[in-house]
Amino acid sequence: MSFIVSRAARLCDQKMDVTNRSAPSPIGKVMNKAIHGLIALLFAVGCWFLWGILTLTLHTAQRFLAGAQIPEFTRLCISLRPLFVVLPVLSLAWCVFAWFRKAQARDTWVGYFATNIGVLVLVMLPTLIAAWLPLISIIEKVGAR
């Protein structure tokens, strides 16, 4: 996927004359909008997968830890699942803003990409930890039998 984004960026940069700070060409504008849209789409898919991991963790823990309690950190992360709906909406709002604002001499999608990936990594790490905690309890429960 990074190949597609880097290729699109190269095409966008080729169409923009960096020595002359004039407005980007029409093709550069379209490519910039397309890259913003692609980044927003991939961010939404990443958030959807993280939401699914937490939902699966909840159902698995309820099934295999019937009498035991789900770890507190896992319950906290599961209660924050609506965040995975809010984050893509905010990202899409910025994407729409970038589409309709007046093009500057050097619009870049790199900051938008870095912000989305940074946020995705920051919410992914606690999500994966929260998903592993009930698994440890399930293994302990199965081992005690």
Give the C-alpha separation, 111 to 100, whole Å. 17
pLDDT of residue 32: 83
- Each residue of 20-39: pLDDT tens digit? 555 667 777 788 889 999 99
Q: Which two tokens stand for residue 14?
A: 């080729």
Model pTM score = 0.76
12 falls in which pLDDT band (50, 70, 90)? low
Domain hosting 49: range is: 2-144
What total of structural domains would you count in the chain? 1
pLDDT (tens digit per residue) in 69-84: 888 999 999 999 999 9
Q: Pick from 22, 28, 26, 23: which is nearest to 8 by CA?
A: 28
Residue 78 token pair: 């599961």
| Least confident piece of the model among 53-57, 86-90, 110-114, 138-142 | 138-142
Write the single-letter amino acid at 81. R
